[in-house]
Each structure stands twice: as structure tokens, then as C-alpha cells.
Amino acid sequence: MRFETPLVPARLIRRYKRFLADCTLEDGREVTAHCANPGSMMGLAEPGQKIWLEPNDDPKKKLKYGWRLVGHENGHFTGVDTSLPNKALRAALLEREIPALAAYETIRPEVKYGENSRIDFLLTQPGLPDAYVEVKSVTLSRQPGLAEFPDSVTARGTKHLGELAAMAAQGHRAIMLYLVQRTDCDRFALAADIDPAYAAAFEAAQGVERLICGTTITPEGVWVDTDKIWHVDGRP
């Protein structure tokens, strides 16, 4: 998934009200960018952090920049826009790049299911059980090489686990897909100390598969890394 507009580098001044970020561009101008991330962004929103913004000239948008990436000093990147994983994953599904899901030809996003919920992707194929795929963006890393989810308490995520388990009980495939939006991680774990209820809900979600996908991230775009895909059938 390529960004629609070339990104520009900046430095973060502060993130506030969850969805706003004041930033300094390379020419010294200060701008406010939209931050499409409702999580805590632990370790990613420190003042002075190098970031990458996507400009826009859409008259319908109040803010003319969107915060897309964090650039780390070691040359790695983290994608902070939580809308990007679904776009990157959709492209990978259409190209059948994820072995555990490659047999499905029909891919439908945002299908209603459960109790007032929408599944990120419903995959169907004659002769196969329907596959309900819920996608979570993973950006937290507190240990070198280890990505963790969640970075804050997520009652919504816990609800999704229960609804996926209900789909599995009906004979469907139910997949919780964690897309690691960090290029410096090759391992994954649930952050049980941050949200014990979520970790417990996952343990209780019988029949729910876990799929972890790494990413390739540059200022040009975000793609699923086909060399970093781990499929765990049901258990962590």
C-alpha cells in the first residue's frame, strides 16, 4: 500500500487529545497533524521524536497533515496510523500472499456480525468454512525485537475476541490477525500486564486462530512482509 502523497519529515512537539499532534517541519514551520491512533502510543510520542507526515490539499479536511510514521534513530520505522493495516492487508489478501488464507477468493471488508460489530474481513470460498478475520495494529515494543499488543486497555478488543469465539463455535474459521507495524521486531506477545482482561479473553476464546504478520515500512508505503508471517492455530 503506497501513500497517496509523498511523506515529509518533521519533529514532534506534542501529541494531545489523542488525535492531534503539533509538529515542526524541516523549514521551521509549526503545523498540527491528525493522529489516527486512539491507543496510548507508548514510546512513540516523545517530544523531539522524528516523524513522517502525509500532506493533503483536501478542502473537506480541517487538518492538512496526517501523522503516518515514526522514524527511529536506528533506521527502523513504526506505522502509527491504525487505518493502514487494513489497507495493507487487503492488498496482501487480494494477491494471496498469506498462506493460511490464500485459498479464499472472495474478500469482503466491514461485514456486520455479532452484536453491533463489523468484521474487518469476511473471506469465503465454496467448499471451505467462512473465515472471519479481525485485524489489530501492533506498535508497542518494550523489549528489543519484541512486539506487544495491546498498548492500553481495550474493552473493544476483548469484545471482538468473544464474538470471534462465537463464530468458531458455529463452525466458521475465526482469526485474530495482529499486524506488526514495526520493522525492528521479529517476535510477538500479548501485553498481559497492560490489559489482563484481554489476555484472559484470548485464553478463553476457544477455536480462535492467531495470525501474526510483519510489515515492510518506508516513507513510500506499508506492505505485509511475506517473510514474517506466523500462523498459530488457536493458541498463543
Mean pLDDT, 10 residues at a time, over the chain (236 residues)?
95 96 98 95 96 93 95 95 93 95 96 90 98 97 96 95 96 97 95 97 95 96 93 59
pLDDT value at residue 233: 64
In order of 97, 159, 162, 172, the CA distances from 206 in angstroms are 26, 14, 9, 12
pLDDT value at residue 235: 47
In order of 28, 39, 195, the CA distances from 153 in angstroms are 36, 9, 5
Instruction: Using DSSP bridges, classify how beta strands 30-35 and 65-71 pair: parallel, antiparallel or unpaired.
Output: parallel
Enter the DSSP assignment of 183. Answer: S
pLDDT value at residue 107: 97
pLDDT value at residue 116: 82
- Residue 71, SS3 per DSSP: strand
Can you say whether the dihedral through the CA atoms of 74, 76, 82, 83 is positive or negative? positive
pLDDT value at residue 4: 92
- Cis check: omega of the bond before 150, within 30 degrees of 0: yes
State pTM to two decimals. Answer: 0.93
pLDDT value at residue 89: 96
